[in-house]
Amino acid sequence: MAKAKEQTQYREVSLSEFFEKNRHILGFDSPQKSLFMIVKEAFDNSLDACDEYAILPEIVVSISRVSDDIFNVTVSDNGPGIERTQVPRVFGQLLYGSRFHVIRQSRGQQGLGITAAILYGQLTTGEKARVETKRDQDDVAFRFILGINVKENKADIKTQEPFIWDRPHGTSVSITAKGRYVTGRQSTIEYLKESAVVNPHASITFVDPDGNRIHFNRNIEKAPYISKAVKPHPYGIEIGELITMAKSTSAKTLLRFLADDFSRVSDNTASEIINAAGLKAEVLPSSLNNKEISSLRESIQKAKLMPPSQESLSPIGEEFIRRGMMSIYGEERPEFYGRPVTRKASVYNGNPFSVEVGMVYGGYLPGDQPVRIIRFANKVPLLYQPGSCAITQSVFDLDWRTYGLEQKQGKGQPYGPAIILVHVYGPRLPYTSESKEAISSVEIITDEIKAAIKQEMRMLKTFGNRKDKMKKVAEKFNLFRRLIPEIASKCSLILGKDVPDINPVVSKIANVVFIHEEAIQADSGYNIRTEIFNFTRSTHKFTLKAVFGGMEDRSTDLEISDLKPAEERVFQNFVQWPGQYPGTDYYFTGIDVSKIQGAEPLPGDWDLRNSEVEQDG
């Protein structure tokens, strides 16, 4: 409510003037953070624009040093471009394109960012920004040199000229500003890297002040799902917002206002709400006084409404998270990629939101270091203020020891070889500040975050169990295939006798069909050698389903027929896999569960488990 009120006031005193005095609120406080903010605002706009038009983004970010503490930031994209006449408003006016009254999840939520960045550059260096843009349907591109007229909150255009651009469409923004270039956890490069994790459909190039180029490749050739813009849901709407909407609506009656400007409100429900509030359906919405609005709001909360539509949500998605984490963290050769978890949508203050969690575990990740939590809000990496963020607080609230990680007294910072991605998304997330660096710890949100993390971590536990199982199977394999043969050959060598046939002994100990695999690293993947041995005294026929890396979309059926006692059969498969291969899950059908080791009954075959009565010692 406070936010909405302030914003109304900004308009009255000139938003630009307000910003000049309060730029820290928007994140432009220290020189290093300001430089980061400029990149972030321009880069997020590029991604939003590309996604909106389903263009696979190609974005180049370059920072060059003008003098010791003055830098030039240029962000160029292959986005849709901006219509020439819109440029002054998009770049030169704070709060243009405000998405008030329709809600939709996007990276930049209020169209305030890029203008603030230009204004910051102007205030610190006196330099104007350079904007180049071209749409596909235009013949020429336009180059603007523009600043901001602070008093009047509008663009101050120095020059605008057409030019021939070698690209079909796109936008390039170049801002010169005071700043400090840093690397590390709260830096431009980290921001781009984490952005690359959740945007595997983007090709991102970064050129640092020393001219080093860092490239994050595109890893998926498809545009992400984009949320639809929807009207606000009336549950939990703040009173200030309701007042603003009532004042500015084009609806002529209260009934039409409720039924047309909100989602999930039918004409019938609208009249019920109005009646319950003791108001008249025909009144002009802007004529309501604060007291009437207040009783309207109360009766809205009591009305029976369908929950908000989830169409306004755009998750990163399981496939994108998996691909993104694989490509960016693959160099750590993780042993395990958790299948990303997406929660069902919940509602906070009338707005839907949801949570996604992804994880990589093991490999070269250091086991004695804090677990890395990478935080995202609406696909935007959150690098600052981890301590006050709902994500961090949820992580610290959970007992990680259950999942085999270390944590003092089951609270606070967990330690272990893991990177956990947490994405909270939805239109109008509650942030702790205007610069949107941390999500507020609202109970329903932290509950959802915790539930998502728990769901994800249970997979790690399953993985751990599977690893133990695999280790035991490997040990048995070693016993049958190496140790006992070694004992036999050593005995015969010492005694000068023939090597005895060990199969009777092995089948006495094992009496199972044994599945063993070796994964040999090859170019961009692994050669998986599946070896099947019959240590029993009978012939078997069955089917083995090999699920490579535990990914159900990568599986193959191996038909094993007429496998005679003491017979060995080998299958070879190649699996594309970045990083360390976590092993294959084998499932069987057509053989008794007590006669096979190294594979599980196919889930559809669970009833077989009950026949697990006779077990051969």
Q: Binding another protein by CB under 8 A: which of 85, 497, 604, 607?
A: 497
| C-alpha–C-alpha distance, residues 131 and 79, integer Å | 13
Q: Binding another protein by CB under 8 A: which of 221, 268, 289, 494?
A: 494
Q: Is 538 in the site for another protein (CB under 8 A)?
A: no
- Measured from the CB atom, is 56 or 488 closer to another protein? 488
The SS3 call for residue 305 is coil
Window contacting another protein (CB under 8 A); options: 274-282, 357-365, 472-480, 527-535: 472-480
- At its nearest, how many Å lie between another protein and the CB of residue 482? 7
Q: What is the DSSP string of 421-449?
A: EEEEE-TTPPBSSTT--SB---HHHHHHH
Q: Which two tokens stand for residue 366?
A: 């250091």
- Measured from the CB atom, is 97 or 565 closer to another protein? 565
- Measured from the CB atom, is 461 or 490 closer to another protein? 490
Backbone angles phi, psi at 439, to 5 degrees: -90, 140
- At its nearest, how many Å lie between another protein and the CB of residue 470? 15
- At its nearest, how many Å lie between another protein and the CB of residue 404? 24
- At its nearest, how many Å lie between another protein and the CB of residue 477? 10
Q: Is 570 in the site for another protein (CB under 8 A)?
A: no
The SS3 call for residue 159 is strand
- Measured from the CB atom, is 489 or 611 closer to another protein? 489
Window contacting another protein (CB under 8 A); options: 207-215, 359-367, 501-509, 523-531: 501-509
Residue with tokens 């959150």: 382
Longest dimension (CA), the chain: 110
| C-alpha–C-alpha distance, residues 105 and 379, integer Å | 10
Q: Is 475 in the site for another protein (CB under 8 A)?
A: yes
**Contact (CB, 8 A) for 94 and 112:** yes
- Measured from the CB atom, is 274 or 510 closer to another protein? 510
The SS3 call for residue 60 is strand
Tell me which residues in 105-164 interact with another protein (CB under 8 A).
none
Q: Binding another protein by CB under 8 A: which of 123, 157, 470, 479?
A: 479
- With residue 247 as reference, give the H or E element that holds it: helix 239-248
Window contacting another protein (CB under 8 A); options: 35-43, 370-378, 417-425, 483-491: 483-491
Q: Binding another protein by CB under 8 A: which of 492, 521, 576, 611?
A: 492
Q: Is 6 in the site for another protein (CB under 8 A)?
A: no
| C-alpha–C-alpha distance, residues 213 and 331, integer Å | 18
- Measured from the CB atom, is 401 or 482 closer to another protein? 482
Q: Binding another protein by CB under 8 A: which of 278, 412, 504, 565?
A: 504
Q: Binding another protein by CB under 8 A: which of 500, 541, 552, 561?
A: 500
Q: Binding another protein by CB under 8 A: which of 222, 401, 508, 609?
A: 508
Tell me the residue type at 379. Answer: K
Spatial CB neighbours of 310, under 8 Å, sequence gap ≥ 6:
345, 352, 354
Window contacting another protein (CB under 8 A); options: 20-28, 327-335, 418-426, 477-485: 477-485
Q: By C-alpha distance, which of 543, 541, 573, 540 is closest to 559?
A: 543
- Measured from the CB atom, is 283 or 484 closer to another protein? 484
| C-alpha–C-alpha distance, residues 214 and 206, integer Å | 5
From the DSSP assignment, how many helices (H) and strands (E) are in the chain? 15, 22
Residue with tokens 């609230």: 397
| C-alpha–C-alpha distance, residues 73 and 217, integer Å | 21
Window contacting another protein (CB under 8 A); options: 124-132, 323-331, 440-448, 474-482: 474-482
Rounded to 5, what percent of the chain is helix, strand, coil? 35, 25, 35
Q: Binding another protein by CB under 8 A: which of 283, 347, 509, 551?
A: 509
Residue with tokens 């040999």: 520
- Measured from the CB atom, is 171 or 536 closer to another protein? 536
- Measured from the CB atom, is 367 or 500 closer to another protein? 500
Q: Binding another protein by CB under 8 A: which of 1, 54, 284, 483?
A: 483
Q: Is 495 in the site for another protein (CB under 8 A)?
A: yes
Q: How many residues bind another protein (CB under 8 A)?
A: 23
| C-alpha–C-alpha distance, residues 64 and 439, integer Å | 32
- At its nearest, how many Å lie between another protein and the CB of residue 493? 7
| C-alpha–C-alpha distance, residues 232 and 234, integer Å | 6
**Contact (CB, 8 A) for 208 and 182:** no
Binding positions for another protein, rule: CB under 8 A: 475-476, 478-479, 482-484, 486-488, 490-495, 497, 500, 502, 504-505, 508-509
